[in-house]
Amino acid sequence: MHDTIIIKIGGGEGINLDHILDEFAELVRSGQRAILVHGGSHETNLIAERLGQPPRFITSPSGHTSRRTDRATLDIFNMVYCGKINKSIVEHLRAHNADAVGLSGIDAGIWRGTRKDAIRSVEDGLTTIIRDDLSGRVEDVNVVFLKLLLDTGHTPVLTPPAITHDGIAINVDADRAAAATAAALGAAELLLLSNVPGVLRDHTDPASLITSISADNLETARDAAKGRMKNKVLAAEEALTAGVPRVIIGSANGDHPIAAARNGAGTHFEGALA
Amino acid sequence: MHDTIIIKIGGGEGINLDHILDEFAELVRSGQRAILVHGGSHETNLIAERLGQPPRFITSPSGHTSRRTDRATLDIFNMVYCGKINKSIVEHLRAHNADAVGLSGIDAGIWRGTRKDAIRSVEDGLTTIIRDDLSGRVEDVNVVFLKLLLDTGHTPVLTPPAITHDGIAINVDADRAAAATAAALGAAELLLLSNVPGVLRDHTDPASLITSISADNLETARDAAKGRMKNKVLAAEEALTAGVPRVIIGSANGDHPIAAARNGAGTHFEGALA
């Protein structure tokens, strides 16, 4: 499976999705075994607002932010990630002759994991414990099912949520789910493409891009990462640790963002960590 | 494949979905090869209203009603059918140990068809022609892909939309898509279960249920069918014509609606038409 690449396209604002999908379809048509993973956070916020259920976020004591996911939020999450975005991506890819199959981590138990049983939330200096949040992390990937699809010429298009071993849907971070997928499949490359050019030394200055990070100086990346970039760096680290030889955090925009990232743009993580 | 049954659960108001899914999961656990097809019309109307894009319907000169599907409507349709409903069904089935995989007709080109290029619409006595509607009918079913899933122990959970050969998503009738699936797979049975008890001689009187219709008196059913029942009778006819030996139109409610229908409840269509 060292010929498989996993490309995750972020769900943030300002990504020209159609454009990068054209390039992805071309790659698939050229014979590349590939899995696309996508997010949908920005669109989910917009739809949640329109439905009169504005998104809420939890800030952990360490400053990490995540979406508060109760059952009503999960329904909206499913609508946008699995419905609107996933199906429009599959439609676009099929119109460009890629045999795409859109699935969530729930389907066939592709992404199985555990639900967090308690989340610390800091608000106005007060820390509370939230116990009913439907979020967690991917621990197992159904490699047999994904190989079945890849071996028969299909291109899986994957999106959260994942599912617990008991069968409860959980919101998981799509970057880390993509990393878990790359790790489980023994993929050759993991690309995390979004609306930022890569890991920045100073997150307010796009010119401060860190172009290359070796396995032994991951702390640099960890220290530099702010906000959503924290999860991407963590995802990169998880994939490298599991033996994925090449991880790139780069931009989903530009003329040929996938080729650009593979040819040196963005932040390249190289070398197994094991 | 004569051991496969196709069960379509309607998307109308008043269906206890969890209850029938429990029974369906039990059937799958007992070893039954099955495909579940579902609709979502009622829920789509509710969400469309909440999003400030109330549903519109087209009435044909023959009195047939269908959803007006422009691109914005298709997005909402995908959100509810492929996102909210499909994923909650798969979650429920997985929690009950059925290895469900939720897919739309777009994915892997499971339901391919053609788009209607012109629809006659009658409003206030005036007939107009609508040319940009994203609706059509299923002509081809990707049997190879569905068999791949069934042969590996999975239970496909299918929902509209379908996709054209050019890769454009189209709204299709879920009853007729279920019939096309049963026909293509050479299924043993097709069950169309919804919030009505079956085909009624007088649609205002539940006691006027037609319990059995043989292949040579389909006209009775066609004449009696009103509103959404027209499509169900058409679906039954299409499945029978294609050689499906048994089609049942029945209720999705009650204690064990699937067993009840298979044991005689509802309207039974018997005998190949060929």
Peptide bond into A161 cis (omega under 30): yes
Mean pLDDT of the B83-87 span: 98
Six-digit token string for B237:
């006819």
Residues of B in contact with A83 (CB under 8 A): 78-84, 86
- Taking the C-alpha atoms of residue B257 and residue A119, their distance in angstroms, rounded to an integer, is 41
- Taking the C-alpha atoms of residue A82 and residue A103, their distance in angstroms, rounded to an integer, is 7
- Please name the residue that has the structure tokens 């109307």: B45
pLDDT of residue A184: 98
Mean pLDDT of the A22-48 span: 97
CA within 13 Å, CB half, B203: 12
Nearest to A235 by CA among A151, A194, A193, A174: A174
pLDDT of residue B184: 98
Q: By residue range, what is the domain housing residue B75?
A: 4-270
- Please tell me what DSSP assigns to residue A125: T
Nearest to B87 among A92, A99, A169 (CB): A169
Six-digit token string for A190:
């993991």
pLDDT of residue A126: 92
Residues of B in contact with A166 (CB under 8 A): 95
- Taking the C-alpha atoms of residue B245 and residue B231, their distance in angstroms, rounded to an integer, is 19
Evaluate if residue B4 carries a pLDDT over 90.
Answer: yes
- Taking the C-alpha atoms of residue B73 and residue A32, their distance in angstroms, rounded to an integer, is 34
- Taking the C-alpha atoms of residue A99 and residue B180, their distance in angstroms, rounded to an integer, is 21
pLDDT tens, position by position, A259-271? 999 999 999 998 7
**CA distance to partner chain B, nearest, from residue A264 (Å):** 33
pLDDT of residue A1: 47
| Best residue in B50, B77, B84 for a mutation probing chain A (most A CBs within 10 Å) | B84
Q: Is B162 on the interface with A (CB under 8 A)?
A: no
Q: Do A83 and B88 touch (CB under 8 A)?
A: no
- Please name the residue that has the structure tokens 């939720």: B102
For residue A155, what is the nearest residue in chain B, using CA coordinates? B108
Q: Do A78 and B84 touch (CB under 8 A)?
A: yes
Q: Do A167 and B96 touch (CB under 8 A)?
A: yes
- At residue B273 the predicted structure's pLDDT band, cuts being 50, 70 and 90, is low
Q: Which of B147-151, B154-158, B215-219 has the lowest mean pLDDT?
A: B215-219
Nearest-10 crossing angle of helices B143-151, B174-185 = 70
Cβ pair B171, B135 in contact under 8 A: yes
Q: Is B109 on the interface with A (CB under 8 A)?
A: yes
Per the structure, how many domains does chain A have? 1
For residue B78, what is the nearest residue in chain A, using CA coordinates? A83
ipTM of the complex: 0.95
Domain containing residue B261: CATH number: 3.40.1160.10
Q: What is the mean pLDDT of chain B?
A: 94
pLDDT of residue A163: 98
pLDDT tens, position by position, A96-127? 999 999 999 999 999 999 999 899 999 888 99
pLDDT tens, position by position, B221-244? 888 888 889 899 999 999 999 999
pLDDT of residue B222: 86
Residues of B in contact with A145 (CB under 8 A): 152
Evaluate if residue A172 carries a pLDDT over 70.
Answer: yes
- Please name the residue that has the structure tokens 């030889």: A245
**CA distance to partner chain B, nearest, from residue A113 (Å):** 14
For residue B144, what is the nearest residue in chain A, using CA coordinates? A152
Q: Is A203 on the interface with B (CB under 8 A)?
A: no
**CA distance to partner chain B, nearest, from residue A231 (Å):** 25
Evaluate if residue A2 carries a pLDDT over 60.
Answer: no
**pTM of the model as a whole:** 0.96
Q: Do B83 and A83 touch (CB under 8 A)?
A: yes
Q: Do A167 and B91 touch (CB under 8 A)?
A: yes
Q: How far from each other are the two terminal CA atoms of chain A, in whole angstroms?
A: 19
pLDDT of residue B1: 46
Evaluate if residue B247 carries a pLDDT over 70.
Answer: yes
Q: Do B83 and A88 touch (CB under 8 A)?
A: no
Evaluate if residue B66 carries a pLDDT over 80.
Answer: yes
Output the CA angle B85-B88-B92, nearest 5 degrees: 135
